[in-house]
Amino acid sequence: MQTISTNHVRGGTQGVYCHDSAATGTPMTFSAFVPDGDGPFPVLWYLSGLTCTHANVTEKGEYRATCAEQGIIFIAPDTSPRGDDVPDDDAYDFGQGAGFYVDATEAPFAQHYQMRSYIETELPALIAAQFPVDMSRQGITGHSMGGHGALTIGLRNPDRFKSISAFAPICHPIDCPWGEKALGGYLGKDRNAWRDYDAVALIQDGARVDALRVDQGEADQFLDEQLKPDALRAACAEAGIDLSLGLHPSYDHSYYFISSFMADHVRWHAERLKS
């Protein structure tokens, strides 16, 4: 693991790191905020959205003061493999910057686009070895495509994650243009293979957790066509999952929205990670 930068800020150390990934076959970059103190600390994973890298939330997320206050490590990985030899697409919603947190099975993406394995297995092992974390206390959150990743990874691993939340997630990618393009391109035409990467479908197929938290701006330009929180609400109601769905007038899809509610999410996770 190579240290790219470290800065002391808000009662902790903000670092950016790079390592060679066996899962993706590429270098991968992530950021980590570690509060002052000896630890071990609970860890909150943050997955970013379309076109983003680790840097978006690191620079705009406004999480550090609350993470230091609550004693939580905050990890923000990249959204996809990158490099000259990594297949890409001219559109913003597919290819590099749009890995959708899947393990791709379709050529030419299967060689490098193994983001599920990277996020679920490889990166946690690295974090456990290199940082003062208590891996028995993990939470996960994310935004948009990363909200989709947080919900699906959390639902697939209920014994690992004590808390799951999302900002404006793609709740039902099987039934929206972003999801149909990405899941079809990475996984092929068999829509049954997509269900493992759809929060609504996972719940319909039996995935269970005690609670989920989602916050959504009502002025979000992607709300009706792409995000579909009502489908998640219906699935949770049917399954008996306690969904806290906060709808916020005037807020859009940007980091102005995320930063407005980030402290609330960190504290919500802290209550569950410390209990």
Catalytically active residues, by annotation: 144, 220, 253
Whether residue 195 contacts residue 201, with contact meaning beta carbons closer than 8 Å, is answered with yes
Provide φ and ψ at 56, rounded to 5°.
-60, -55
3-state secondary structure of 21: coil
Q: Give the DSSP letter string of 14-64.
A: EEEEEEE-TTTSSEEEEEEEEESSS--EEEEEEE--TT--HHHHHHH---H
Joined tokens for residue 157: 């691993």
Whether residue 37 contacts residue 71, with contact meaning beta carbons closer than 8 Å, is answered with yes
Cβ partners under 8 Å of residue 215, min gap 6: 165, 166, 167, 168, 245, 246, 248, 261, 264, 265
- In what helix (H) or strand (E) does residue 27 lie, and over which residues does it extend? strand 27-35
Whether residue 157 contacts residue 138, with contact meaning beta carbons closer than 8 Å, is answered with no
